[in-house]
Structure 1
Amino acid sequence: MIFAVLVPLLIACFIPLLSKMKHRIHTGIFVFFVPLAIFLYFVRYIGENFTPVRETVNWIPSMGINFDFYLDGLSLLFVLLISGIGALVVLYSIYYLDKQERLGQFYVYLLMFMTAMLGVVLSDNVFVLYTFWELTSISSFLLIGYWHFKERSRYGALKSMMITIFGGLSMLGGFVLLTVVTGTTSIQGMIDQTDTILNSSYLPLILILVLLGAFTKSAQFPFHIWLPDAMEAPTPVSAYLHSATMVKAGIFLVARFSPIFSTYEWFFIIVSLVGILTLCWASYMAVRQTDLKAILAFSTISQLGMIMAMLGFGTQAAVFAAVFHILSHATFKGSLFMIAGIIDHETGTRDIRKLGGLMTLMPISATLALFGTFSMAGVPLPFLNGFYSKELFFGSTLGLDGNILSQAIPYLAVLGSIFTFVYSMYFFFGVFTGPKKLDQLPKKPHEAPIGMHLSPIILVLGVIVIGIWPNLLNGSFLYHAASAVNPATTYYEVSFWHGFTYPPLLMSLAVVAVGTALYLTRRKWETVYGVLPGRLSLNKAYDGLMKRFDTYSDSLTNYYMTGSLKNYMAIILGATFLVTAGVMLYTGGFTISFDNLAEVTIIEVAIILAMIIAAVATIFINHNLAAVLVAGIVGYGVAMLFVIYRAPDLALTQFVVETITVALFLLCFYHLPKLRKRKESARSKWKNASIAISFGAMMTLIGISTHSSRWFDSISEYFLETSYKLGGGDNVVNVILVDMRGLDTLFEIAVLGIAALAIFSLIKWKKNKGEAD
């Protein structure tokens, strides 16, 4: 599995070379086979007898951080969506993106994101999952800002990264607490210790931190504001990231940890309430939009809210409905994003106010959009998978027991679904019916090439196939995914007809009736948006918050960025002292012991006194060369101590380094103006003296404590015992440098060699320049 996860990243390394041939062959053709191969590799796991698969590759075993991959029904569902939709998106991008675009960068970012998402859904180690999680934020930032010359693209990319990384860091805090409570970094190991987690005093904090990560990534209210701005990305990115993959990462996270939290009452309250609120608010706001991708963005938010709410319910019916809708949503929403891209590509605009009457001009696109929008609306037709999803959702809301929230959820579900129906009809009929407005279009509209239609056709076929045979994948695929979320889930059979008195059907009919009335009278009631939300705007709150952060950051930076190296050193040393000394005192790290110490001879005392006098003397010397020479006494004193302690190799190295350093300083200072010390106030002198003495004392105590305490077994015994056996030498230091740490020495020499070549090049360049002058 690890190869399947990393192969997109490996192929990305060759994209810059392949993109050089883009004028002869589109780079996407090479990339297309990567997700296709991954999809074909994992699709073989579909079957009624599927059992989870584990795979481990050591990374940092001492900290329990390894590449632990776990493939169960849930991760298999997401892997197939990531790779399958990914292949279709790449196929679509071949026809959508012109060869003049920066294709190399685009496909590198896309493959990077693919690896990140595969890592997220397959990781069983929480810290590896977090690593891939943040990689999705970085790669999506690059994809959203792909057209970086547009201000809105840069704004959307930064906004998405700021919000999702805030959630990611919160999630990391939850993972750390889970690791502390359970003593394991494995998600499956944590699930096995569910009782321990539920009885922990950290449980409320863990839940909030983990859910913050999920809500921000899956654009749940009030963190949903980044998703509409992310629509500035190229349409293939929108179709991939924001309908089938990235925005479902939060859904995956909640589903993965549901076996732990599902019995906790606050999990039901928070997840269900946020999900149902997101459904209602986003579907209501979608009707207000005029940009096709903005309509679909709010549509995605509302659909994610529906899935999140069902995961919050946690019942067998709700979990199965959530899994079913994850698949359904990927098919109809992916196709609709691509259709929106085709409309933009062929008409030059996404403004629905300028569109209309395109059904006769773009019949293929209109037909595909008909199936996608009607499925999204949940229209009661037996060949639309969205209707089954909607009925399963309604059914799951009716099976809840408990508080007032449980009783209100069915009504809120109907309310959100009514507006879902309205914006679906608004999208389709607003674009493809009504009078033509050709004079308002930048381009004369015509049907797109068939190649651009291939991907949405395949997705719409998925909508129809699942609609006609809704149980086709239940036993062999969706059941395994649902049982991974709720182990008590049994096989669930879906059917179109349950009778006229079936409550979910009555709810669906109410949605269609009220939704149709609202759509037909939209012009009369849309003024309500002036009241709700009116002037209230979460986007303005975000912009104001970011502006304040910028202002305070500038003030703070200007306060300490004075251009004075002395001030910088004072800040660095002072901060290091406070943090290090504080931690050492808190953990009892300062230990002083005088056991097993060698005798101090008069020679050592004399050398140390000379070093102290030289170090102090540099403070009072006003001449450059003298200051350098006196400072060199300290280095030579250290070398003499090495000689006394019978370390001739270290002494020789110290002598050479100190001599070169002094010589270089002398060479440099010879060309500098005379050293002039500024007059300082008594307060400044006391501050400098305090920092210097405190930092020096701390380092001295750390050195003494290092000798006085033994937190770990000394490695010196290992070197003494094995230097001759493994390295064939009696000189332990030489064996360490040449054999034990041979690579370190090799690269150190390489660095010095490169530096020497650079200096030589500069000298030659200066000489040649002088001759030319």
Structure 2
Amino acid sequence: MSILHAAIILPFILAAGMPLLKRLPGKPHPGWAVMLAPAVLFVYFLRQIPIVQSGHDIVAAVPWITSLGIEFSVQLDGLSLLFTLLISGIGTLVVFYSIFYMDKEKEAVHRFYVYLLLFMGAMLGVVLSDNLIVLYGFWELTSISSFLLIAFWHHRERSRYGAFKSMLITVFGGLAMLAGFVLIYIMTGTFSVREIIQSSDMIIGHSLMLPALLLVLLGAFTKSAQFPFHIWLPDAMEAPTPVSAYLHSATMVKAGLYLVARFTPVFSGQASWFWLVSGVGLITLIFGSFKAIKQTDLKAMLAFSTISQLGLIMALLGLGSASGYYTDVQQSLFYSKATMAAIFHLMNHAVFKGALFMVVGIVDHETGTRDIRKLGGLMSIMPVTFTVAVIGALSMAGIPPFGGFLSKEMFFTAVLNAREMGIWSMDTWSSLFPVIAWAASVFTFAYSMVLLVRTFAGKFKPEQLKLQPHEAPVGMLIPPVIMAALALVFGLFPGLLSYSLIEPAMAAVMPGLLGPGEKFLVSIEFWHGWTPEVFMTLGVIGAGILVFVLQPKVKVLNSPGSPRFSLNGVYDSGLGMLERSSKWLTDKYMTGSVRHYLIYIFTFLVVVLGAIMLAFDGFNLDSSSYAPVTVYEAAILLALIIAAIAVPFANSRLLAIILTGAVGYMVSLFFVIFRAPDLALTQLIVETVSVTLFLLCFYHLPKLKKELSPLKFKLTNFLIALGVGLMVTLIALSALSAGNSHPFESISKFFLEASYTLAGGKNVVNVILVDFRGFDTMLEIVVLGIASLGIYSMIRLSLDEKQEQFPPRLGSNKQLRGGLVPVRSNDVILRMTSRVAMFIILTFSWYLFFAGHNNPGGGFIGGLMTSAALVLLAIAYGQEVMRSIVPLNFRKVMATGLLIAFLTGLGSLWFGVPFLSHAFGHEYLPILGEVELATAVIFDLGVYLTVVGVTMTIILEIGRDR
């Protein structure tokens, strides 16, 4: 595992350790510990600038699912380095800001930082991943963690609404993006981004290229809030201000831009890519800037401003992709300047918008409102905040000497250059590019002035403020001051970024455009003479001042419009219609009757399987290859059939349970006859524990209906039962009849040959469970754990309700904790024999566990056997005695087992092998001599503890419900 892998994992480790910070003496603010992670990462990535600048990418990989070409591979090139610096650098400032913004006495700050760290790690994973599937995993994790952050104040309805909307839209785009990734894999045969870029010729002209392109862009547009998917971003402003400053200005919304930049080498030079990226970007630019000027909430204004600026960067990336069309290098370099402008403005936007969000947070924090109609005259009261706001707003408006002015001028240059493109009917539409860019810049200037002037200038209105305003604490001022200073430094000294960050990022976005050792010319200067760009800027300032003055008086510039006919209205109406339709459909089949649900399931099973078997001529009944039926098998089968038929005719629940157990024991005998000892042992123990569980469950149920009324024959039940039994039997016989004519070679041969040579075990069944299919086993025990906790929670809730209705009698010497009365067996023989039997069963269970790798047994069987011994003890002596002898919290036992299983799998990554890979060897030990040691036994120990914890949690909790 490389340092890059560790950089991604570090925030997750710190998030997992957050609960420990609560236990520290004095309870310091957890933000100080959290800030270490992004600060350390920022320093590390700063130190990588010379390496990446020299043209040497840092690449590392950890095997994961190698058979599918999925590896946890990472790459640090110019583009990913730029984003990692933004994520870690601004992340450090945001955490510092939040220490003073979030009140640790009133807010759940530990939970806040857990969510923030999850997001930070996910974003690092997105920009560093070289494998598309891993990238997708981190991509969706950013949506989930942002959902949690937006809904942090979950008691607010608007916070829940905004969080749900953001996750619904971005996850939808993520799923579309995943489909695009799969299509790219089909075309290239690889999930590696580097290999896909090198194989771009295989994509161009392929029939799947356009669907893949559209699906990838759908993911990028939804994440980066491009029109018409932008509607989630304004509602996401319900999150705390540090979240808005981090996710919705500098990081998460930039993930879509990162994706477009990363895939530009693959799709550049394609008309569909050019028009979609640049067209959607320009529409988003003009729409966002026009909507921003109408807002009265400061954060809403910045939200639409962010949408507009993201559209600007997206448009630049689209214009820059045209360089891939030309074969002439000089022409390609001429149009690649748009990509340079996109990268530069991405950095400028991160710092000035982050500073402005923090300014708005300070205003809200110190005045109690973000309503611009109630604000004014704060210039003299909050001078430092005002200074930061001036720098941020003027940089956003594109006024010198700030960095935003330079990147805006470069944007004007790019749209003017677009008029000279003689490709894709640009002669017709090229004039619209500079017109839209200029108009959007006018609105940008106007809303920047609205934000600045109407918040800090004008009349002071203390009567409309909730709090007495004053300057913010120094801790809240330091982060926005630093970002405002960077906005000024980027403007005055752009050369600091030219060849350290911008040029390496351009080389990553447009690889192959230059020869080996050549570099892009990155020349960013304030003055180029009286160019059209200068006159466009002067026009922006003049028209922007006019719009600013007319804005309060002109309805079209200040009216929010009818929400009913807006995109939000369409979203709400569509979502409401889906909810009503799904409720109507669900009410039709969710009747509350288990019988109805089983009818649906079994009917579907019979119809679908029967149709498939008939369509492909799958029924093949050839008895020539069947083995003869022995007398023992016939006798066991007859007993099994009689017991199964007798179950529905049983007159009591106890008899029904005994007959059901008898069916299971007959199946166990079949496993014994067919020489499957592992299955026989498992089935026997499962039946024993199941009978106990059934007895505990049926104890609480009402009497059987047949005890109240005669048994009725139901034709529907009979037909479905007959159909399911017949269908399963025919499929099993058909599979058996196929014999050697089966189109696929049996996999059993591989396991029989490889179980010892590759996994060091002679018990093939156990080797499959803990080695070859260990991942399946781990997921199964996780599911078991979740189920047991669900049962535990439901029973505890039921017990609490009963205790409220029937409070325990005070002074009773039989009362136990929780108001329960001890229940135990009065059978002296059972109690006496259980003392000896319990130790015999436990000893045998441990033997099964340790011997399971080479002989019948294993962690699953051993865990069930141990549970059976503990259940016997509980039945004979009662739960309280059992708990005093075995003072264990079985939920913690289960958690320990899951942790051991997971850490065993994770440990393999340390040695550079896939997750859950195992090793074995033969070592000489004192007394024991030569012994085989296998790491699979450690994983099996996790299975053993999980099974014991799950089984005892369920049985003991059901047994407590008296």
Whether contact under 8 Å (2:851, 2:858) holds in the other structure is: no
| 1:551-582 CA distance string (max 9 Å, x none) | 22322333333222223333344455667777
Do 1:356 and 1:434's aligned partners in 2 also have CA atoms closer than 8 Å? yes
Of residues 734, 744, 759, the one that matches 2:856 is 734
The reply to whether residue 567 of structure 1 matches residue 567 of structure 2 is no
Could you tell me which of 226, 229, 234 is aligned with 2:235?
229
2:346 is equivalent to residue 326 of structure 1:
yes
1:64 aligns with 2:69: yes
Contact 1:723-1:729 within 8 A present in 2 as well: no
Once the two structures are TM-superposed, the CA of residue 189 in structure 1 deviates from its matched residue by 1.2
Structure 1 match to 2:78: 73
Distance 1:170 1:436 in 2: 50
Corresponding position of 2:822: none
- 1:412-451 CA distances to partner (integer Å, 9 max, x unpaired)? 1111111111111111111111111121111121111222
CA separation in 1, counterparts of 2:297 and 2:338?
33
Query: Whose relative contact order is higher, 1 or 2, with alpha carbons under 8 Å and at least 6 apart?
Result: 1
Secondary structure of the structure 2 residue equivalent to 1:196: helix
Q: 2 CA distance for matches of 1:663 and 1:71? A: 58
**Is this contact kept in 1: 2:278–2:314, CA < 8 A?**
yes
Counterpart of 1:7 in structure 2: which amino acid? L
- Secondary structure of 1:734 counterpart: coil
Partner of 1:754: 949
Contact 1:723 1:736 in 2 (8 A): no
Q: Bigger CA drift: 27-36 or 10-19?
A: 10-19
1:358 corresponds to which residue? Answer: 378
Aligned to 2:916: none
Match of 1:388 among 406, 412, 415: 406
State the AA in 1 paired with 2:579: D
Q: Secondary structure at the match of 1:282?
A: helix
Q: Which residue of 2 aligns with 1:462?
A: 486
Q: Distance in 2 between matches of 1:545 and 1:760?
A: 46
The alignment partner of 1:200 has SS state of: coil
Match of residue 521 from structure 1: 550
Does the residue aligned with 1:92 lie in a helix, a strand or coil?
Answer: helix
How far 1:362 sits from its partner (Å)?
1.1
Pairing partner for 2:40 from 37, 40, 47: 37
SS at the partner of 1:354?
coil
- Taking only the aligned residue pairs, the percentage that are identical comes to 47
Q: Distance in 1 between matches of 2:712 and 2:496?
A: 85
Measure how far apart 1:527 and its partner are. 3.3
Aligned counterparts of 1:60 and 1:389: Cα–Cα separation in 2: 43
Matched, 1:491 2:491: no
Decide whether aligned partners of structure 1 residues 762 and 386 sit closer, same or farther in structure 2, where only a CA change above 3 A counts.
Answer: closer
**Is the Cα–Cα contact under 8 Å of residues 82 and 244 in structure 1 kept in the other structure?**
yes
Contact 1:23 1:99 in 2 (8 A): no
* d(CA) in 1 for partners of 2:147, 2:27: 30
Match for 2:246: what amino acid? Y
- Partners of 2:356 and 2:393 within 8 A in 1: yes
Instruction: Name the counterpart of 1:185.
Output: 191
| Equivalence map 1:330-729=2 (5 Å) | 330-379=350-399, 381=400, 383-400=401-418, 401=421, 402=423, 403=425, 404-487=428-511, 488=513, 490-500=520-530, 502-527=531-556, 536-575=565-604, 598-619=627-648, 624-648=653-677, 650-662=679-691, 665=694, 669=698, 673-676=703-706, 679=712, 682-683=715-716, 685-695=718-728, 697-698=730-731, 701=734, 708=742, 709-710=744-745, 712=747, 713-719=749-755, 723=761
Q: Cα deviations across residues 619-661 of structure 1 (Å, max 9, x unaligned)?
A: 5556544544444443233223233223456445534543554
- Give the Cα–Cα distance (whole angstroms) in 2 for the partners of residues 667 and 218 of structure 1: 55
Q: CA RMSD in A?
A: 3.1
Greater mean deviation of Cα atoms: 32-41 or 571-580:
571-580
- For 1:85, the equivalent position in structure 2 comes to 90
Is the CA contact 2:293–2:558 (under 8 Å) kept in the aligned structure 1? no
Once the two structures are superposed, the pairs formed by residues 755-770 of structure 1 within 5 Å of their partners are: 758=953
- Is the 1:624–1:675 contact (alpha carbons within 8 Å) kept by the matching residues of 2? no
Identify if the C-alpha distance between structure 1 residues 588 and 458 changes in structure 2 by more than 3 Å, giving closer, same or farther: farther
1:7 maps to 2:10: yes
1:300 to 298, 306, 315: 306
Deviation at 1:525, TM superposition (A): 2.3
Secondary structure in 2 aligned to 1:58?
strand
5+ unaligned residues in a row in structure 1: which ranges? none
Q: Give the AA of the match of 1:493.
A: S
**Amino acid in structure 1 at the alignment position of 2:6:** F
2: CA distance between counterparts of 1:251 and 1:419? 23
TM-score by structure 1 length?
0.91
Q: Which moved more, 1:662-671 or 1:436-445?
A: 662-671
TM-score, L = length of structure 2: 0.74
Match of 1:113 in 2: 119
Aligned CA distance change for structure 1 residues 186 and 586 (closer, same or farther; 3 Å): farther
- Could you tell me how far 1:311 is from its partner in structure 2? 0.9
SS in 2 for 1:340: helix
Relative to 1, partners in 2 of residues 1:758 and 1:387: Cα closer, same or farther, differing over 3 Å?
closer
**Which has the larger displacement, 404-413 or 446-455?**
404-413
- 1:199 Cα deviation from its structure 2 partner: 2.3
* CA displacement at 1:759 relative to structure 2: 7.2
CA shift digits 1:574-616 (9 cap, x unpaired):
4556677778889999888879764443443443354345434
Find the partner of 1:99 among 97, 104, 108. 104
CA distance in 1: counterparts of 2:497 and 2:272, whole angstroms: 33
Select which of 142, 145, 151 maps to 1:139. 145
Decide whether aligned partners of structure 1 residues 346 and 717 sit closer, same or farther in structure 2, where only a CA change above 3 A counts: same
1:158 corresponds to which residue?
Answer: 164
Corresponding residue SS for 1:69: strand
Pick which of 444-453 and 643-652 moved more: 643-652
Q: Which segment is superposed worse, 648-657 or 469-478? A: 648-657
Does the C-alpha gap of structure 1 residues 178 and 460 become closer, same or farther in structure 2, counting only changes over 3 Å? same
SS at match of 1:520: helix
Closer, same or farther: CA 49–522 of 1 in aligned 2, 3 Å: same
Paired residue total: 764
Shift of 1:680: 6.5
Q: CA deviation at 1:172?
A: 0.9
Distance between the aligned counterparts of 1:384 and 1:316, measured in 2?
23
In structure 2, the CA distance between the partners of 1:701 and 1:745, relative to structure 1 (3 Å rule), is: farther
